[in-house]
Amino acid sequence: MDLVEWWRTAVIYQIYPRSFADSDGDGVGDLPGITARLPHLADLGVDAVWLSPFYRSPMVDGGYDVADYRDVDPVFGTLADFDALLAEAHRLRLRVIVDIVPNHTSSSHPWFVSGLRDRYVFAPGRGDAPPNDWQSLFGGPAWTRMPDQSWYLHLFDPGQPDLNWDNPDVRDEFEDILRFWLDRGVDGFRVDVAHGLVKPDFSEISVFDQDGVHEIYRGWRKILDSYPGQRMAVAEVFDTEPARVARYVAADELHQAFNFDFLEAPWEPETLRRIIDASIAAAAQVGAPPTWVLSNHDRRRHVTRFGGGPAGQRRARAAALLMLGLPGSAYLYQGEELGLPEVLDLPAAARTDPQWLRSGGAELGRDGCRVPLPWEGDAPPFGFGPGGRSWLPMPPDWAGRTAAAQRADPDSMLNLYRAALRQRRPAAALTWLAAPDGVLRFETDGGLLVTANLGDSPHPLPARPLLASSPVDATLPPDTTVWLRAG
């Protein structure tokens, strides 16, 4: 398979701008903060960054409620700051992907404010009841009533009205927004809720993954292909089986889709192997690369999912080498290279996630994986910004987790990721090899032999590895992955 297109084997690092680095001391991360810290990512060895939204927004959903798709929110900086970030990233040979949020706008978007109802999904109620029983993914009904008694659809927060993609004005607008950012020089897009845009008949129970979405992405692909430099797009498609997800990455649609099955998998060899096989097979059917991801800004961080504490760290190290040894492309979420755990004890008053707010606190929500990054120093906010504060409180015991502390420690998570990204071998396919129970063993066409011990007992290790997630001797201990040269 042609491995020349950069995105087929890229490692892409997700930045959540509010929480990456703050340049002006207001406690919220911003674009100049990101620019100043790009050398960390160049040194880490990733190929690209994906920026979660930084557009004008009331921040009801951390910026996934966009009020102006062509401008930077003042809390993050200016368009000139964006241009400077992009130029510096490109100088450091990092590509930049931006988030596009086409399923819904903010309720503060001028279209919604000025009452352009045909661009949204409005419907009459059933008496006092909403038009149907669709539920918001943040809890409660997916419909909110306007003062004139009509209802509008919001699959997420009421501050995120769903757009009506049957309206050609909506289609034209988003094609124009794509061109706006492509003209500025971005390398691609991450498409939010890519499977949600087209709505079924209101009598349907299932809202997502309607066939009509594919025509939209065929149009987008033509736009991406009309620009030089291999521009790409990655689709967020969740709760959908691999064969359906593959339709979004057909040769005339988008380039990649996130692998939520892999992200959600337990640390368990049979399940992981099954998901790896299914993912590779589904992607191969349409000639797309498989992708891998362990964490993002919506899910509990994997150190914590894998048990937390030293056991969680150890498994996270083994999982990183497993993932980065697989063929295809991988996504890292900011802070996983520092082994950050989920922060589970945020005070209620600090929490902002609509998932938390709309569930009346029944769901902890996603703030715990969005705690700002610790860069250096001994006390919060650990160099996050010059103002001595951070929009979410940072655990006081993170001094050992800062990027500076880990750079100085050869055995740190950061140095494991750095070594892995240097020694990684781009690949398109794998072959499973015989292995004892609890062990996953495969060879890639990039020339890497990966052995991951997810079982309870050690196994003999025939040769000295290129890289090991934890110390090894003549045996491979439990919860450890090693890389060897294949053949």
If binding is defined by CB under 6 A, does position 367 make contact with ligand NOJ? no
The one-character DSSP state at 72 is E
Give me the catalytic one of 65, 73, 81, 236: 236
**Residue 215 known to be catalytic:** no
Residue 398 interacting with ligand NOJ (CB under 6 A): no
Q: Give catalytic status of residue 236 as yes or no.
A: yes
Restricted to residues 145-164, the positions that interact with ligand NOJ (CB under 6 A) are 156
Using CB under 6 A as the binding rule, the residues of this chain from 79 to 108 that contact ligand NOJ are: 101
Long-range contacts from 268-277, C-beta under 8 angstroms, 24+ separation: 268/454, 269/438, 269/439, 269/440, 269/452, 269/454, 269/455, 272/322, 272/440, 272/454, 273/432, 273/440, 276/326, 276/430
Handedness of CA 108, 111, 117, 118 (dihedral sign): negative
Q: Which residue's CB is nearer to ligand NOJ, number 361 or number 462?
A: 361
Report, in Å, the least distance between residue 486 CB and ligand NOJ. Answer: 36
Q: Which of 64, 189, 258, 356 binds ligand NOJ (CB under 6 A)?
A: 64
Q: What is the CA radius of gyration of the chain?
A: 22
Site size with ligand NOJ, rule: CB under 6 A: 9
193 binds ligand NOJ (CB under 6 A): yes
Nearer to ligand NOJ, 100 or 421 (CB): 100
- Strand ordering across the sheet containing 480-485: 430-432, 439-444, 448-453, 480-485, 467-468
- β partners of residue 431: 443
**Interaction residues for ligand NOJ, span 236-255 (CB under 6 A):** 236
Cβ distance 450 to 325 under 8 Å?
Answer: yes
Q: Which residue is nearest to ligand NOJ (CB)?
A: 64
Which distant-in-sequence residues (6+ apart) come within 8 Å of 287 by Cβ? 1, 251
Answer yes or no whether residue 61 interacts with ligand NOJ by CB under 6 A. yes
Rounded to whole angstroms, the Cα distance separating 320 from 339 reads 10
Q: Which amino acid is at 256?
A: Q
CB 334 within 8 A of CB 370: no
> Does 187 sit near ligand NOJ (CB under 6 A)?
no
Q: Is 333 a binder of ligand NOJ (CB under 6 A)?
A: no
156 vs 174 by CB, closer to ligand NOJ? 156
Question: Residue 313 half-sphere exposure, CB side, CA atoms within 13 Å?
Answer: 12
Q: Assess 298 for contact with ligand NOJ (CB under 6 A).
A: yes
Catalytic residue among 47, 162, 187, 192: 192
When the beta carbons of 255 and 370 are compared against ligand NOJ, the nearer one is: 370
Active site residue ranges: 192, 236
Residue ranges that bind ligand NOJ, judged by CB under 6 A: 61, 64, 101, 156, 192-193, 236, 297-298
